[in-house]
Amino acid sequence: MDCSIIESKKYPGLYTVSTTDFFFPLIEDPYVMGKIACANVLSDLYALGVVDCDNMLMLLSACRKIENYENDIILKLLMKGFNDLAKEAGTEVTGGQTVINEWVLVGGVGISVCKKEDIIFPVNAVPGDVIVLTKPLGTQVAVNMYEWLSKPQKWETIKDTISEEEVFEAYKTAMKSMSRLNKTGAKLMHKYQAHACTDVTGFGILGHANNLASNQKEEVDFEIHTLPIIKHIPKVAQKLRFFKLLQGFSPETSGGLFICLPEDKAKDFCKEIEEIDGVPAHIIGRVVKGNRKARLLKDLNIIEM
């Protein structure tokens, strides 16, 4: 499960769905970083089709290695970004915990109280389903390339593969993607009868696909034939294979929803989510009979976004 799901002992039929996550900042802008942290927390709820979050808490650490005035500026912007995206999601931050640490950490907790029918349990994929991904891959590589611009030794190894302008473009795309909520996808999962879902984060797309496949009721495999990737990043991934992006194991931050749904619903799902969010989703694979495994097919189709 992407979340903890507990049925109330006092009120049978009501469930508490909760999740928590935190990590180091990965971009320069603390306001946008706050939004990314909030979106990342909420994605675990959205992966279960839980559309409404009742309450959020924020987890934050100040950095003991920088001046107090710097912490004051940075932490306020992190909190504002986190709080603004929580409001966009229709929830609010009511508390949390702040500590002092060697470096800044940011994250939070999302809690929803709901009925069983509000939850899409991620175990019901069947042969014939197709797989939809709602955000492009490549956030880790894009962020690293931006960081390498200020590290001459590392930039020297890749400057003939990607230009500075292309790095800036990919970095901006990654920031927009990571700070975009998966709420629309969660709503549409109910409308289009999704059978299973997870969000793509720290284990990479194939890691999460394997996780999801291993927990299906039916003996199925997930075959992935297409990888949507942030523009300009595939050529970097081909050269720097240690990122493992084209092998399916590059970590993502606040990635998209990986959704199994009926084939006759998938195109309408993709059409509607693009109409609402302004960003395309893609059919990237299919569910077939198998042994609860996931794999990338040999002739992968790479789509740059």
Backbone angles phi, psi at 78, to 5 degrees: -60, -45
pLDDT tens per residue across span 33-62 = 999 999 999 999 999 999 999 999 999 999
Asked if residue 52 belongs to a domain, the reply is yes
The whole-number average pLDDT for the span 134-161 is 97
Is there a contact between 81 and 93 (Cβ–Cβ < 8 Å)?
Answer: no
Is there a contact between 287 and 221 (Cβ–Cβ < 8 Å)?
Answer: yes
The rounded distance, in Å, linking the Cα atoms of 28 and 295 is 35
Residue-level pLDDT at 271: 98
Q: What is the CATH number of the domain that holds 214?
A: 3.90.650.10
Q: What is the DSSP letter of 137?
A: B
Task: Note whether 151 and 11 are same-domain residues.
Answer: no
Token pair recorded at residue 95: 């508390």
pLDDT tens per residue across span 246-282 = 999 999 999 999 999 999 999 999 999 999 999 999 9
Asked if residue 125 belongs to a domain, the reply is no
Is there a contact between 204 and 250 (Cβ–Cβ < 8 Å)?
Answer: yes
pLDDT tens per residue across span 172-231 = 999 999 999 999 999 999 999 999 999 999 999 999 999 999 999 999 999 999 999 999
DSSP percent split of the chain into helix, strand, coil, nearest 5: 40, 30, 35
Q: What confidence tier does 2 reach under pLDDT thresholds 50, 70, 90?
A: confident
Q: What is the CATH number of the domain that holds 66?
A: 3.30.1330.10
Task: Note whether 173 and 39 are same-domain residues.
Answer: no
Question: Is residue 1 scored above 90 in pLDDT?
Answer: no
The whole-number average pLDDT for the span 149-168 is 97
Is there a contact between 258 and 210 (Cβ–Cβ < 8 Å)?
Answer: no
Q: What percent of the chain has pLDDT over 90?
A: 98
Task: Note whether 102 and 172 are same-domain residues.
Answer: no
Q: Which domain holds residue 225?
A: 130-304
60, 93, 118 - which closes a domain: 118
The rounded distance, in Å, linking the Cα atoms of 59 and 108 is 5
Question: Is residue 297 scored above 80 in pLDDT?
Answer: yes
The rounded distance, in Å, linking the Cα atoms of 94 and 169 is 36
Task: Note whether 58 and 164 are same-domain residues.
Answer: no
One-letter amino acid at 127 equals P
Task: Note whether 208 and 299 are same-domain residues.
Answer: yes
Reduced to 3 states (helix: H, G, I; strand: E, B; else coil), residue 204 is helix
The count of other CB atoms within 10 Å of the CB of residue 99 is: 9
- Find, among 234, 222, 228, 220, the residue nearest to 285 by Cα: 222
Q: How many structural domains is the chain composed of?
A: 2
* Residues whose CB is less than 8 angstroms from the CB of residue 44 and which lie 6 or more positions away in sequence, other chains included: 2, 3, 19, 21, 110, 199
